[in-house]
Structure 1
């Protein structure tokens, strides 16, 4: 518990310093929530849920609530590069207000091309003012890959014709934290798919500062808000995996928490879309689901107010939160084993025909079973 005690103390000190700053928003967060029909009880429930999502002890829940209330003291500059704006849509496109969307409205968003009314020279001026006025203290969120071929001229932005590489270097220089929102910003995404003529890259391959990568096409709004809340609370980026993704969000395989996992273990697979297995909710591995190779919290957090996610809706995971997913995970309707003779694919066939009654738990066990599957196939 010593580690958590030190983290809690850091959070209390950080929030105490933020409270000394002038509030940017004239309306306190709780008034904003109440105006949208969201009660204090619901807000505290949300705080507890975010605490659990961030893999923190429940005692941190009041700290999360405090951080949300002073989130407007941390300026946010959101840049659009080579992308489709789907990541912003993931956060703001909802039919009814949620605490996440209201909180994003409460944060001091100093620049966001999709949300702001300014355009042209005025927009350019707003960005330059924000970068200078909040230098060293703002969070830089980047949506989209950075084309680097031909000195970055495949992406020129604004009336001054600055390239994406120029803008990202300038903005990153004064950032207190950098967040790559979505797979395009994190790893290059579809823009970096072979043959990648624009030499599109993830932000962390272009700048020389720590970057937290929120993989996903798009990432869950929970992952965006949760990462921002972590920085507001502690003034630092969360613990990350080998690809720079926050462990609290990308620490488990999609396969591990999938509601169809039991079907995989039982050897019950959809053989083709629309068959009886599909109607019964069988595992989608044989029709291309990449859940066993993908790290994300989609099954637990879902999308659209926790309504659904692709696998629950009937299509396999395409591995969109993984580096180079557009090339590495294709074809999206075929298992990887059909291309590379992957052991897991052989295991799927084996479980479905030879040992249907055997309960096999964990991918490690499945991989071992794949060795025996090869023997069966060879006979």
Structure 2
């Protein structure tokens, strides 16, 4: 693809019809909760766009976010990097290494000054001068600062980048911090999750390409289209919750009947993500569908909440069907309600601390 070609020109050369392009636009619009009227604008925006230069930095992480991205199905990972973006630098996926790799990053920054997007997975260690994670002899902190200087925007993918994740968990030995503390005022999008859903990542990139701006974000800088509701809001097991039917273990009658997993520690009521609708591996399944409760991995401090198999605090001591009436995840999380998801998280942490004191 020539540097000055639009995506439309390149895709046309590859035999992609306008009809197919509009279908893709419809898909992106639907997963981002955009009105039908936006489909044409989104498709036209993508068609007129040029391949977006992307520099992907990997810091304190496990490579799970990249693994997730490679499983994107619309667009596929191959389509994304060969048709839509120019992935100019990626620690894990680059064929070159050493000095050649670092020169590629610097060349992309110079050629796309003010236009390139920086994607970061992993937190940044600051303790002892940041020596706990370095690349080519450069600390993560210094590399991030240098790379963000002339960037258009930064996307923090995964909970480690968005909120500090596991590296930042108590006692945080490396002094890890999230990207938001070091973004230098650049537009920031957090796509949390451990790892984040592949199509959420590609959907956000497609939106940036089409409209040249950041999508609507929540108070944690996450796209509302994907993080606007709790997993519980869309969970197919919710009818069992409303009826007070819960699994008491992972191999009991309730578990075999597909009952709600609240009592075995599901954090779906306080976790904002689109797992229940987007699902994983091309829309095949998600943890709750596979029989395991949500761990709350897209929320801040999820690891320190611990007790993945401890149930959330029960409102007002309600039990059985009254649990549903208390609406821990319904009215309790609704607009203007007394309890918020964050409140429940804090309550849960406090209860764990009390238990530790007793021990």
Q: If the TM-score is normalised by the length of the shorter chain, which range does it land in?
A: 0.7 to 0.9
Label 1:114 to 1:63 Cα distance change in 2 as closer, same or farther (>3 A).
farther
Structure 1: any 5+ residue segments left out of the alignment? 1-19, 371-379
Shift of 1:366: 9.6
Shift of 1:74: 1.8
Q: What's the secondary structure of 2:273's corresponding residue?
A: coil
* 2:182 equivalent to 1:206: yes
Shift of 1:169: 0.6
Partner residue, 1:6 = none
Q: 1: distance between equivalents of 2:52 and 2:282? A: 25
Partner residue, 1:49 = 27
Of 143, 153, 161, 1:167 maps to: 143
Partner residue, 1:220 = 197
Partner residue, 2:310 = 334
Partner residue, 2:344 = none
Could you give the per-residue CA deviations for residues 38-89 of structure 1, whole angstroms, max 9, x where no partner exists?
x865553332121122222112112333344455432111111111111111
Label 1:41 to 1:278 Cα distance change in 2 as closer, same or farther (>3 A).
farther
Q: 2: distance between equivalents of 1:244 and 1:41? A: 34
Whether contact under 8 Å (1:76, 1:138) holds in the other structure is yes
Label 1:283 to 1:132 Cα distance change in 2 as closer, same or farther (>3 A).
same
Structure 2: any 5+ residue segments left out of the alignment? 340-359
Alignment RMSD: 2.8
Of 253, 256, 259, 1:282 maps to: 259
Q: 2: distance between equivalents of 1:216 and 1:78? A: 17
Label 1:286 to 1:126 Cα distance change in 2 as closer, same or farther (>3 A).
same
Of 132, 147, 167, 1:154 maps to: 132
Shift of 1:360: 6.6
Aligned length: 332
Partner residue, 2:115 = 137
* 2:231 equivalent to 1:249: no
Q: What's the secondary structure of 1:195's corresponding residue?
A: coil
Shift of 1:295: 0.5
Partner residue, 1:363 = 330
Question: How high is the TM-score relative to the length of structure 1?
Answer: 0.80
Task: Judging by fraction of residues, say which structure has more helix.
Answer: 1
Written as runs of structure 1 = structure 2, the 5 A alignment for 1:1-379 is 22-23=4-5, 28-29=10-11, 43-69=21-47, 72-93=50-71, 98-101=74-77, 102-106=79-83, 107-158=85-136, 161-209=137-185, 210-328=187-305, 330-337=306-313, 342-343=314-315, 346-347=317-318, 349-351=319-321, 363-364=330-331
Q: What's the secondary structure of 1:273's corresponding residue?
A: coil
Label 1:360 to 1:86 Cα distance change in 2 as closer, same or farther (>3 A).
closer
Question: How high is the TM-score relative to the length of structure 2?
Answer: 0.84
